[in-house]
A and B are shown apart, each in its own frame.
Chain A
Amino acid sequence: MTEVQERTDFDVRAFARNAQGPFRDELDLAPFAAEPLDPADRDLVRFIGRVESATMEHFRDVLMTATHKDARVTAFLVTWAYERSWIADALDAVLEAHGDPRARAVAEERARRRWGERRAWRGPLWRTVIAVGQRDAVVGAHMAAGLIDEWVLGAAYQVLAERAGNGALRKVIDRIAAIKRRHEEFFAAETHRRLTASVRAVRVARGELKHAVWPIGSLRRAPGDRRRFHEAVFGATDGWARAEAIGKKVAAIPGLTRRIGARIAARLRKR
């Protein structure tokens, strides 16, 4: 078994110590009264909030594997989930400033499996069985998935900020981006370290990423909501360019290929 012993410079303990808790009270939401977001933008806010808070759905996938044994990674993930839950709360605050209910108070349509998502829908039983063969090589795949997810959600926040053209929302998004920067930093460092050090990790990452669904947490969302997200962020010419840009960044990850990058870009464009 190839083990990766070295560490990256990311200080997980400091990250956990300085984790961002509730911050809705620090947001200036009053301007939304005079300058509200239109329903389509609020719809996008709601969807992003839902995927930001769907961390336990993601844990259900990753903890069935050897990733749960890596105490440094799990310490990061625990804090990552905590910070994401408060990001979702901040997005709820934006919705509530418009008189809308928070995201989880709105009933979701039943999720449906789409063509090509069979592997992404695997339950804990199958993941456990497959994890036996993947061993700790799978940690690199999970780190790369986290990194790509940051890029995908980064694109979504960018679209939201540009499309809404609303100063108050821009400030909320800037605040969120500052929190998420540390997530990207950890995932990027871990991805690079693990995929550079291990051929097996590269092989497992290629296999896993080909079948992943973006953003993390969207698999079990309502089909209509997913379609609208992909149309808003990765539809039309601008959106295609965004998907293409993410595909190129994926291709530049150590051990990954242009083909995998193109496949992920195609999946992002799929509505």
Chain B
Amino acid sequence: MAFDIDEYAAGSRAVRWDDLDFDHFRDNPLPPDTLRTLRYMTDVEYHTICYTRDLLTTPSHTDDDVARFMVTWNREEFWHGEALASVLRMHDIEVGFDELRANRLKFGWRDYLDPATQSTLSRLVGKDFIAVHMSWGAANEYTAVSAYKRMAALETDPVLAELLRRIAQQESKHVAFYVSQARKRLADSRKAQIITRFLLDKVWRPVGSSIMPHEEVVYVFGQLMSGPAGAAEARRLDASISALPGLSGLQIFANSFGRLLAEGAAPVPA
């Protein structure tokens, strides 16, 4: 079914947490490993604007539906950041605008070069490059939904679990948009399928990899995707992305999570 952008935009609300008892964290603080994962997800949510920047290197914004989605999506993701930052604040961890700016400044030269690279690729490939970004977005949003659901399932704290479920619910709509766009654009072009397949297989890394320190990526996906349940989740995600035209058989999630888990399990060199 086609994604209804009007319905999505009109129905969009900032994620609510004012009805959740965050004071409960004063007496029941979250453990350090949960806070570390939450901090990762907070940054990922706030830095959505940086991913928007990548999307805008293609002519995708000239499509009214895509442009309208970007507006609402950015706002929802900002509020996910705000909600998670509020949980962290209850644990005296501040993620304010200054901290976010400082993090973005650490991205360095790659951050300047990325849009130039993507813009060049977009000019070389043409409109088909939008399919890459839409499929990439689908893969990222799949990872985000999965991460929140896994966290909620592993989480024993009822307040945090409820907040994570609410965020995951909104992220599912983002998945629906990207998947509908990717499916349409991939179905229309064999060239788009070949390029998308190649780039997803060779270059894609789990959400947050381009903006967070590598040890944090290893830590977070080690927490969320280990064990038989994590492996089953990776297979489920691979089946979803493989259902897109021309992407059958891709195992980007199993491969990426597998690499990160292997790194996390490896002994630290003396």
Partners in one complex: yes
Chain A contacts to B: CB under 8 angstroms: 12-13, 16-17, 19, 21-22, 53, 55-57, 59-60, 63-64, 68-72, 74-75, 77-79, 81-82, 85, 104, 123-125, 128-129, 131-132, 220
Chain B contacts to A: CB under 8 angstroms: 9-10, 12-14, 46, 49-50, 52-53, 56-57, 61-62, 64, 67-68, 70-72, 74-75, 78-79, 82, 97-98, 100-101, 104-105, 107, 111-113, 115-116, 118-120, 123
Given A68-B50, A79-B75, A82-B75, A128 contacting B119 (CB threshold 8 A): yes
Dominant SS among interface residues on chain B: helix
Question: Chain B nearest CB: distance from A68 CB in Å?
Answer: 6
18 contacts between A and B (CB under 8 A): A19-B75, A21-B13, A56-B56, A56-B61, A56-B70, A59-B56, A63-B49, A63-B53, A64-B53, A71-B46, A75-B97, A78-B49, A81-B71, A82-B72, A124-B118, A124-B119, A128-B113, A131-B112
Query: Which residues of chain B have C-beta atoms less than 8 A from A72's C-beta?
Result: 97, 101
Query: Which residues of chain B have C-beta atoms less than 8 A from A125's C-beta?
Result: 115-116, 119-120, 123
Query: Which residues of chain B have C-beta atoms less than 8 A from A22's C-beta?
Result: 10
Given A63-B52, A68-B53, A124 contacting B61 (CB threshold 8 A): no
Inter-chain CA distance A77–B112, complex, in Å, is 20
Pair B74/A78 contact, Cβ less than 8 Å:
yes
Pair B112/A132 contact, Cβ less than 8 Å:
yes
Q: Which of B13, B105, B116 has the most CB of A within 10 A?
A: B116
**Contact with B115, one of A57, A75, A124 (Cβ below 8 angstroms):** A124
Pair B112/A71 contact, Cβ less than 8 Å:
no
Known: A60-B56, A63-B56. 9 other contacts (CB 8 A): A19-B14, A56-B56, A56-B70, A59-B61, A68-B53, A70-B97, A78-B74, A82-B74, A124-B116
Pair B104/A71 contact, Cβ less than 8 Å:
yes
Inter-chain CA distance A128–B56, complex, in Å, is 12
- Nearest B residue to A76 by beta-carbon distance? B97
**Contact with A57, one of B61, B72, B79, B111 (Cβ below 8 angstroms):** B61
Query: Which residues of chain B have C-beta atoms less than 8 A from A57's C-beta?
Result: 61, 67
- Nearest A residue to B109 by beta-carbon distance? A132
Pair B78/A85 contact, Cβ less than 8 Å:
no
Query: Which residues of chain A have C-beta atoms less than 8 A from B118's C-beta?
Result: 124
Pair A128/B46 contact, Cβ less than 8 Å:
no
Pair B71/A69 contact, Cβ less than 8 Å:
no
- Nearest A residue to B56 by beta-carbon distance? A60
- Nearest A residue to B69 by beta-carbon distance? A56
Question: Chain B nearest CB: distance from A23 CB in Å?
Answer: 11
Query: Which residues of chain B have C-beta atoms less than 8 A from A85's C-beta?
Result: 9, 68, 71-72
Pair A69/B105 contact, Cβ less than 8 Å:
yes
- Nearest A residue to B74 by beta-carbon distance? A78
Inter-chain CA distance A81–B115, complex, in Å, is 21
Given A59-B56, A71-B101, A129 contacting B116 (CB threshold 8 A): yes
Pair B74/A81 contact, Cβ less than 8 Å:
yes
Pair A68/B101 contact, Cβ less than 8 Å:
no
Given A71-B46, A125-B120, A16 contacting B78 (CB threshold 8 A): yes
Given A59-B52, A124-B57, A64 contacting B101 (CB threshold 8 A): no
- Nearest A residue to B47 by beta-carbon distance? A71
Q: Which of B53, B64, B104, B105 has the most CB of A within 10 A?
A: B53
What are the 10 closest A-B residue pairs judged by CB atoms, nearest first? A71-B100, A72-B97, A69-B104, A56-B61, A63-B53, A125-B119, A60-B56, A56-B67, A71-B97, A124-B119
